[in-house]
Structures are given as C-alpha cells and as structure tokens.
Chains A and B, each alone.
Chain A
Amino acid sequence: MSTISKADVVVIGGGIVGAAVARELSRYQLDIVLLEAETDIAMGTSKANSAILHAGFDAKPTCWKARLNVLGNALYRQLQDELKLHIGWTGSLVVAKDPVDMAVLEELLVRGQQNGVNGLALLGRDEVLAREPNLASDITGALWAPTAGIICPFGATFAFAENAIRNGATLLRETPALDIVVENGRVAGVRTPQGVINTKFVVNAAGVRADDIARLAGDESFTIQARKGEYILFDRSVRNLVNSVIFPAPSKISKGILIAPTVHGNLFIGPDAQNIDDKTDIAATGNGMDRVITGARRLVPNLPLQAAITQFSGLRATAEDGDFILRESEAARGLVHAAGIQSPGLTAAPAIAQVVSALLKEAGLKLSEKRDFNPANPLKPAFQELSWEQRSSLIASNPLYGRVICRCETVTEAEIVAAIHSPCGARTVDGVKRRVRAGSGRCQGGFCGPRVTAILARELNIPMTEVRKDSIDSRLFFDKLPGNCEVPAHE
C-alpha cells in the first residue's frame, strides 16, 4: 500500500457521498485522497438501501433534503450517460388505503410542487390498478411521481469513485482515519495506520460513523443514530409483479415498507425501521423479516416468498433533526461535514457533492479547474446484454468472454478479470459480485463462488486462503490439504 504524506483534501468514507464528493473535487487541480476503512467502497449504507432515486416530494421545503433531492434527481439524468450508470426511470406511486392516507397524499402533492417536483399527479383507484394490477384491491388512490427512478447504488458509488480516480484522485482502502490532527482550531492532518496525511481540508462522509469522526476533531456538535432497515430480495422470475416503485402512505419516521423492481431485473421489499445502538449490527432478524413481509403484503398481497433469494439489512445514518448536516465544523476549521445522510441521500449525493465543494471553497480551498478533466467513464460490456454477433467478436478478441463463470447471471471470466483490474477494482468475492453480479443470482454463488475465489487469487497474486468474502477478516477457506488432489484418470 502506497504511503501518502500530503493531500489538498482528504475525504473520509467511501460511500456514495464520499465518492461523489471525490469525483466533484476531481474537476479541480487538487490532490484528493479518499479514505475507506473497509476492504471496498460502498460497504455501509450505500450497499444496503432501497436503491431508489426519489422524486423529492417527501421533505419539508426549507430543508437540505428537499432542495438536494430534486437537484440530485436532475443531476443523475446528466450523469447517467457520463458515468454509465444503470438507472430505470420507472416512476413511483404512493398508495393510499383510507381517507387519512388520501389526505397525506394531498399534502405530499402540495409539498412536492413547492419542492419543484415535476409531473406529480393524484390517480384514482382504477387508474392505479391499471398500471399495477398486482396491488391490493383495497387501495383508494395514489400519488404518481414520474421522475422517480431505480438505480444500482453500489454501481453508482463505483462509477463516481472510478471517475474520480481516472481524474487523479487516490483511493486508499483498509485505511481507517484514526485521528484528525487539529492545530490552532484548524485541520492539519489525518492519521491513518500508514502515517499522517498532512492536509488542511477534510470531508467527513463517514455515514453512521460521522459523529465518531467529528469527535476525532473535538467536534461534539451532533450525534448519529443508526436506524436499521431489513430487506428481502426476490428472483428475476417475479420481476413483473410491479412496474414502478410502490410506497405506502408514509409515517413520521419512515417512508414505509415498499416494493420495487431493481435495475437488474429483481424485485425487493423493505425496509422496516429500528433504532439500534450497535453500529455494526447489520444482522437480519426473524422479526424484521416478518415486519417486512407483513408490510409488503399490504401493498401486494400475493407475495411470492418462495422466490426470495437473499435477505440483508442496512443502517441509515440519522441526525437529531432529521435533516442532512452540511456545514463546516466550528471546532475544526477546514473540516466539512456531510453527515446524517439518510434517505434521500443516494438521490441527493451528486447535489451534496456540489454543496460540499462550495463549503470547502468558502472555507478557503482554492478551486481551479483542471483542463483535462474527463467526466466520462468507459462503457464496460455486459456479456448478458449483448447480441450474438457482439458476443462472438468479444470472444474472438478475448477467449475469457467465452467462459461463463456465473450461470445465473451469465457473467464471463473476462468481465470478472476486468472488474478486478479496473480503477477501484474488486478485491473480494462480494466486491466482484457488486461490480459484475457474479453470485447475485438465484444460486447466490453456490456454483461460481469457488471459481471467483480462484480468479481473485490468481489476479491479485495471493493464495486462495487469503481471498476474502467481503470484510477485512472474512477469509473463505482454511488450509490447503496436503497431497495432490487430482482425480486419477483410471478408476
């Protein structure tokens, strides 16, 4: 691992916000270091969330959330082509089941219009059921938001980070910020296990740990409450159950348990909302799954539970007043917080990045544009989506395109090798999965897991026993057995 002793800006936290900030800053002539404590970026809230680009009618008009949601949604429309993001502009429906819900929809409509959301419309029961025939028959109406979409959240994080790296930013993984050096009330550096990185500007994008990072700089101005949400993901075979993102009428603490398609052609339900004290508690629970199933059945009664392929949970980083915390620290000048980023943080991320960039400028960071900034990521061929002619010529150029490693998702060895060697390439089996989907199908890596492990070992030049599933201490296999395990040709 390279040791870096100085930087113009250190961004702490390789989630969607940290990656978007790094990419935004990479437009300027700056040395940017993105620090990530885990083996990979997008390992916290950015990997386990509802994967939705919200339209922006939820938040109260005066807050950051409202402004940045609508702006973020618009920015993704520009970024989609540049960064080669997987986005489906499906629209969303908030469905009502009684007069109280209907009143909530009216409120949302007005609020959405104040927030500048285009195209909102209240639909009657029949109109809703015509769009979504599998919805519960007792619904009374819905708020239609055509600008809502679905996105691959870790794909977006990789895309931002990859573009930042292509434009000169440095990503350091498995590099936690151990301390923030503050001198005379100003940031002077960030201490990591590899030494101190001297810097005058730090962006705190540490998700559920953003308050811990603030405290490293002596800033106790906010606390982050982790709020767990559980999800169940379904097989592609039931994708057509809904066509758009379906929310129930919202409650005070949550948008409620929703059902939505994914950009990869799956379907998911979730999340519930449980405040928890342990910021590492991402366990799925029996009660949580029951809550999610019960909630989703209120929207779609015929839920195909036998088609579930996996469950997961994620933590939302919620601040006390419920809004994003976007400001320079008063305790340590030069430290800019991007904290409390819960929903709609994924949608708002590119807008948050612009705000953070402006805050850094106000704090004294010199932003001079880089002439050779390249906003675009190259297109990566996804074998599964190609025509036979394209497949044939790809295999001719690289035979590894002819070796299908993941059967469920038709992922070839060439794609996996490319995912390992791309900027911010995969280091772990789950890292490969999140980049190219090997192992994310219905067999969940039963066939391809060992093969992906072997490809990682070969490409990273490490022993099989050092290949990890996901997190730092998640090695998959123990010793190599003694002797030669070749199967003899004779009986």
Chain B
Amino acid sequence: MNKQFFDVAIIGGGPAGLAAALSARKAGAKQVVILERDVELGGILQQCIHNGFGLHRFQEELTGPGYAGRFVRMVRADTGITVYTEAMVLEVAKDKTIWAVSPTLGLIQLSARAVIFAMGCRERTRGAIRIPGYRPAGVFTAGAAQRMVNMEGFLPGKNIVILGSGDIGLIMARRMTLEGAKVQAVVELMPFSNGLTRNVVQCLEDFAIPLHLSHTITFVHGRERVTGVSVAAVDANRCIVPGSEFYLPCDCLLLSVGLIPENELSRAMDICLDGLTNGPVVDQYRQTCVSGFFAAGNVVHVHDLVDFVSEEGDIAGRSAALFANGELPLEKQYINVKAETGIRTVVPQRISLPTAAGEKVRLFMRAQEPLTRSTLTITTTAGKLVERKLPVAKPGEMIVADISTEKISPDSQEIIVTLLPQSLGGA
C-alpha cells in the first residue's frame, strides 16, 4: 500500500484530538489526520449524555455528545483534516511512521512531521485494587456500564453499589437511579469525594443516595451473579476497622476507582512518563521528551472538565503545526516545574526556554488533599511568580494558574508549586 504523508497526525478522536486537529489547521498545518479506533469521533463524550459540558468554553451547558458534536462538525467541514475511524494504531516509530489497521482500509501506514498522542485514559479495574471475593457477573467499571446504558441500552443491574466517588461513579449513581435502579450506596475509601462538588450535590445529595466516606468493600459475594458486598470502615491509614463490617445486598457493583492515562504507545517508544500523572512529561507546548511528539488531554493527566481537555488540545495542535513547519522555538534549556507541599501533580512538568515575549503558561495542578482557606504559591529561585488565596481546594478539582514567562530567568533552577493552609505561613 502507499504510504501517506501528513503534517500532523493525531492518535485519538476524542475531545483532545478534535481540538488539536482544528488548532493545528489554524496554526498552519496543511494536512492533518485523525486516527480514531472507535466507529465514530467524540471519544468518551459520546457516552456522557448528562449535561455540564462546555461551561468554560461555550458558556453553555451542553451534553457530552452535544459538546463533541460541535467539534466533529467543524472537523468534518475542514477538508484539510482526514479522519480514519475504526483505525487502531498499533505502532508508532520515532521517525513518525504510524501503522494502524482498519476493517475497511486494511493496513494503514502513514508518515507525519509531528504526532499528537490523544488516546485518553482507561479505568482502573477490580484486579488493580485487589478486592477479595468471588468473580461473578455484575462487577463493571462505571464507564463500561455507562456505555452499555447510554449507548447500547442495557442495564448492568437493578440494585447497585458503587465503589469510588470519582465523577463517573457519581454520575452513574444518578443515571442508574433515573433508569429505575436502586443505588444502595456509594462507598469511598478516602475521607473525601474525588469527584466535582457539583456532582456530589447533583448526583447523590439530590437523590438521597448515601455516601460512605472512609469505607471500602471487603468482599464480593455471589458465585455466578453478584448477590451483595461487605463494606467496612477504614482508619486514617486506610486499614479496615475491626467490627465495622456490614453487608449490602446488590446485584451489581460499579467501580469508579481511578483513571489511568493510556500510554501503551508512548511507553513502547520510551517517551518519559511522570510517575504521578502516569502521562508523558510535557513542556508548555505539550511536547514530550521525544522531539516532534506531543500529547494532550487525559493521556497527559486525567482532567475534571472537558473544557480543559480541549484547551490542552488547542495547545498541542498549535505547537505540532508550528513544529511541522519548523516554527516552534527550539528549546535551549528546560526549567522543571515541581509539585511540593500540598500539590500532588502539575502539568506541564517543565518549561522550555526561551519563550516568546509576553507568553503566558497555564499550569494545571491537583491538590494533595482537601483544604479550606489555603494559599497557592508558585516560586522560582528569583522570587514569587504567583500567590493566590484559595477558599477551597479539592483533589477532584483542578487548580489552574497562569504564569508569565517573562519573570522566569534562565538561571532559575526550577519552579516550585505549593499549597499551604493560610495559618501555616501562607499570606
């Protein structure tokens, strides 16, 4: 077969990939290709039929398919963007050759000047968290169940317990309730929910679904189909409190126990990964440690809002187009951005110098634990870049701050981000 050539190749047609394609075109890429493994564009948004998407970007409350639809139409209208659906990328080489397979096109081999990884993430499974018990039917990850209910129209259960209070778990609690199922409880290992506050309120509190914080599931009952789960309280070290165990009958256990960026392709290419985000280490252009390979969206770090995913796609798309045209500033030096006290992760993990005049870099951060009245500080050896008071900070909600790169002198060793309670030396 003939090898095809593109300026920018994007792996993944979800919100990050779609935004990246449009932004790459806008920044001057002539030929862009999106390789999507599913039958249609849109990624996980297609199964997210609830509202709340696009508040930042469009100042509107759209559904997932609604939000995706806007991008898909723009992508489809742009003749400079080639879309391959049902195209599963199996291998990417450092020379930017990509191999994919599809039932209609067979083997697809193409070459690009710049590549953007936008493969999203996958769900952590029961096996990864070692829940004891049987292995009956009726244990699903919340996202898989969401696809079945919202896209295929099948109920995974009628009497449900959800482990994990991540956003998908919370949204599925409401969704299953609306479909007539009884949601017995949401069980959360941590002393706080990992989801957006608005989801705790709108999906649990509004439906009087109990949330058992600092609890876990100690046993899955049922040899063929789930018949119930044992639940127990955990102490501050997440060890089970003896005698606290109770039984919840159910026919289905949904797991919302974390998302893991899908970096199989990146790993196979030895792209440097961040041990905490599980995504590639990127700079402000979303360029990875391998020249000309960019990454955006949940493959970099798991986002709470799709609006930020699109924003990251914008950055990666523009940067990849500039790279393809030889216009991206060549890095002479990197300054690492480090998460310290109170902050778990920060993206980008490094800033490449020199930067353009007036350039601002947006940092996306996650708090280590919930704090009320805290101070976010971003400093270099030369001084403070940002200091901001946060009334509430939660691990489930991304903290966003812009830093002006003019203040970063090339002899700064690193940029340090902290989040401290205001009583502890914060302003």
Contact = CB atoms under 8 A, between A and B. Distances in A.
Interface of A: 232-233, 237, 280, 282-286, 288-289, 306, 308-312, 388, 391-392, 395-396, 399-404, 407-408, 410, 412-413, 442-447, 449-450, 454, 464-465, 468-481, 483, 485, 487-491
A440 B157 CA distance: 23
Most buried by A among B65, B69, B224: B224
Contacts of B144: 445-447, 449-450
Closest 5 CB pairs of A and B: A310-B127, A469-B137, A474-B137, A402-B103, A477-B154
B152 interface: yes
25 contacts: A283-B220, A285-B132, A310-B125, A311-B127, A395-B107, A400-B103, A402-B86, A403-B103, A407-B264, A443-B122, A443-B123, A443-B125, A444-B125, A444-B127, A446-B123, A446-B125, A446-B141, A474-B224, A474-B225, A478-B155, A481-B149, A481-B154, A487-B65, A490-B69, A491-B62
Contacts of B151: 485, 487
Contacts of B103: 395, 399-403, 413
A285 B221 CA distance: 12
Most buried by A among B65, B135, B140: B135
B154 A479 contact: yes
Nearest to A236: B264
B107 A450 contact: no
A391 to B, nearest CB: 6
Contacts of A469: 136-137
A258 B48 CA distance: 44
Contacts of A477: 148, 154-156
B126 A444 contact: yes
Contact of A474 (B128, B136, B267): B136
B99 A388 contact: yes
A286 B155 contact: no
B152 A308 contact: no
Interface of B: 1, 37, 46, 49, 62-63, 65-66, 69-70, 86, 88, 90, 99, 101-107, 109, 122-123, 125-128, 130, 132-138, 140-141, 143-144, 147-158, 179, 218-220, 223-225, 264, 267
Given A395-B107, A402-B103, A403-B86, A481 B155 contact: yes
A47 B131 CA distance: 20
Given A284-B133, A306-B128, A404-B90, 18 more contacts: A232-B130, A233-B127, A283-B132, A283-B133, A283-B219, A283-B220, A310-B125, A391-B101, A402-B86, A402-B103, A402-B104, A443-B122, A446-B144, A450-B152, A477-B155, A485-B151, A487-B46, A487-B151
B135 A312 contact: yes
Most buried by B among A395, A396, A404: A404
Contacts of B102: 402-403
Contacts, number: 162
B147 A491 contact: no
B156 A478 contact: yes
B154 A491 contact: no
A444 B143 CA distance: 13
Nearest to A312: B135
A391 B101 CA distance: 9
Given A402-B104, A446-B125, A487-B65, A476 B158 contact: no
Contacts of B66: 491
Contact of A309 (B101, B128, B158): B128
A446 B255 CA distance: 11
Nearest to B89: A404
Given A481-B149, A487-B151, A282 B106 contact: no
Contacts of A481: 149, 153-155, 179
Contacts of B101: 391, 395, 401-402, 404, 412
Contact of A407 (B88, B127, B147, B149): B88
B105 A402 contact: yes
A131 B423 CA distance: 56
Nearest to B119: A407
Given A477-B156, A491-B70, A468 B137 contact: yes
A469 to B, nearest CB: 4
A399 B123 CA distance: 29
A470 B267 CA distance: 33
Nearest to B63: A491
A66 to B, nearest CB: 35
Contacts of A233: 127
B125 to A, nearest CB: 4
Contacts of B135: 282, 284, 312, 470
A403 B179 CA distance: 32
Contacts of A407: 37, 88, 264
Most buried by B among A401, A465, A473: A473
Given A285-B132, A490-B69, A475 B137 contact: yes
B72 to A, nearest CB: 9
A478 B219 contact: no
B147 A478 contact: no
Nearest to B127: A310
Given A446-B125, A469-B136, A485-B151, A478 B130 contact: no
